[in-house]
């Protein structure tokens, strides 16, 4: 068969349909590559920007045990960013370019991280709801069609599931504590519920990328399907805690076998995505500061790697002599 674009595309789609992973050196349509770079880099940026609202509470965690768990979680998120940047690099983009786009405010990251963590209960809500929403979306990504992304997601999901439990456990301790503590947990749920539903992205009728991403099996489930699965899984968890989800339209629909829920404020969602959320400016300022202050670490690491490569080359030359 001749290697025309049409034939290459047909072979590519046949591989996807047969559940064969696409690997970095395989031929792929330019749009597939671009979609992956966009999604994986946005995902990586979300992981490292996501460290900021939680990092805010490391020095104020209420006990050593809580501090250790939170430190480990925040460190995990940094690791997730690294696996994801590495996966994106296999598609021919550079880490420096991705960082530049993020620092300049040109790249997107998840809307959720533009909300403030005002009390310790917010750390519980972030783990329970934000990591809970992240896992719901990310489990399908362990089966995404691009090999390096799928493999990175396997490890990420294992860690995220621990994060969700530590958040739920913090919320449970508060919900079963004094009336003031329970009130804190309820207040955090009230503020984080709707932004967590927004994490899944625009609804299916307005999502620009979903149809093509699903045909390429980059996404396996639509934004609305995942959002519904998250609501269905989370409502009983809130009931168990004795907390109330802030949605007067939330009710079990026997016919559908799912919870019905109220309308998301899409105006708020787009405002946050476009940079107008409560913390967008602060997040970018903190990210730029960290990047600038970490320059010497990057330089030292690169110098070390260069020296090691030179040493290895010299050893190979002398062993071949
Ligand atoms: N925020 O056509 P769609 C985490 C944009 S990781 C901002 O539906 P797509 C771990 C979208 O980019 C959380 N922008 O797009 C953690 C597109 O704009 P573009 C992140 C959003 O890609 C926990 C436009 O709207 N997870 O939480 C958002 O098919 C705790 C149209 O949307 C991932 O990134 C949003 N919420 O579906 C860390 C998972 N939603 O690019 C620390 C991987 C949509 O055309 C603490 N990503 N947009 O300019 C995905 O699964 C997908 O990219 C979606 C969006 C589902 C996010």
| Tens of pLDDT, residues 183-220 | 999 999 999 999 999 999 999 999 999 999 999 999 99
What pLDDT was estimated at residue 318? 87
Residues 146-175 have a mean pLDDT of 96
pLDDT for the residue 1 = 66
Round to whole Å and give the CA distance between 14 and 134.
Answer: 30
Average pLDDT over residues 262-281: 97
User: How distant, in Å, are the alpha carbons of 153, 247, 273, 315 from that of 157?
Assistant: 6, 29, 25, 40
pLDDT at 54: 96
DSSP 219: -
Mean pLDDT of the chain: 96
* Residues within a 6 A CB radius of ligand 1: 38-39, 42-43, 46-47, 50, 54, 77, 108, 110-111, 126, 130-131, 134, 137, 198-202, 207-210, 213, 219, 223, 273
Nearest to 22 by CA among 218, 221, 210, 153: 218
The per-residue pLDDT for 257 is: 98
- In this prediction, residue 319 carries a pLDDT of 84
DSSP state of 190: H
Determine the 3-state secondary structure of 251 from DSSP.
Answer: strand
pLDDT at 124 over 80: yes
DSSP secondary structure string for all residues of 62-103? SSHHHHHHHHHHHHHHHHHHHHHHHHHHTTT--HHHHHHHHH
Give the tokens for residue 163.
């994060």
Tell me which of 76, 116, 209, 215 to substitute to probe ligand 1's pocket, judged by most ligand atoms within 8 Å of the beta carbon: 209
Q: How confident is the model at residue 88 (pLDDT cuts 50, 70, 90)?
A: very high
How far, in Å, is the centroid of ligand 1 from the Cα of 134?
10
Query: Which residue would you say has higher pLDDT here, 320 or 242?
Result: 242
pLDDT at residue 321, rounded to an integer = 72
The torsion of the CA quartet 52, 54, 57, 58, rounded to 10 degrees, works out to: -90
Tell me how far apart the alpha carbons of residues 262 and 193 are, in angstroms, rounded to a whole number: 12
């Amino acid at each position: 068969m001749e290697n025309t674009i049409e034939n290459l595309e047909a072979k590519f789609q046949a591989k996807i349909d047969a559940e064969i992973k696409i690997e970095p050196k395989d031929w792929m349509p330019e749009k597939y590559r671009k979609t992956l770079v966009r999604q994986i880099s946005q995902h990586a940026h979300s992981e490292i920007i996501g460290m900021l609202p939680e990092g805010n509470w490391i020095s104020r965690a209420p006990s050593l045990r809580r501090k250790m768990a939170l430190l480990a979680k925040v460190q995990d998120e940094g690791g997730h960013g690294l696996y994801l940047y590495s996966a994106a690099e296999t598609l021919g983009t550079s880490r420096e370019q991705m960082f530049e786009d993020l620092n300049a405010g040109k790249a997107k990251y998840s809307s959720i991280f533009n909300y403030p963590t005002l009390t310790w209960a917010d750390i519980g809500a972030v783990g329970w709801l934000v990591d809970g929403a992240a896992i719901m979306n990310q489990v399908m990504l362990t089966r995404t069609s691009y090999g390096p992304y799928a493999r990175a997601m396997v490890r990420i999901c294992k860690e995220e599931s621990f994060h969700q439990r530590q958040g739920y456990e913090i919320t449970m301790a508060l919900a079963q504590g004094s009336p003031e503590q329970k009130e804190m947990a309820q207040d955090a749920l009230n503020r984080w519920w709707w932004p967590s539903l927004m994490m899944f992205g625009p609804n299916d009728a307005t999502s620009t990328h979903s149809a093509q991403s699903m045909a390429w099996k980059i996404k396996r489930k639509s934004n609305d399907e995942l959002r519904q699965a998250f609501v269905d899984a989370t409502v009983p968890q809130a009931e168990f805690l004795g907390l109330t989800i802030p949605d007067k339209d939330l009710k079990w629909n026997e016919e559908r076998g799912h919870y019905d829920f109220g309308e998301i404020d899409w105006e708020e969602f787009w405002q946050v995505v476009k940079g107008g959320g409560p913390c967008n400016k602060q997040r970018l300022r903190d990210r730029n500061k960290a990047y600038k202050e970490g320059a010497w670490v990057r330089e030292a690491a690169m110098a070390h790697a260069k020296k090691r490569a030179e040493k290895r080359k010299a050893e190979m030359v002398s062993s071949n002599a």
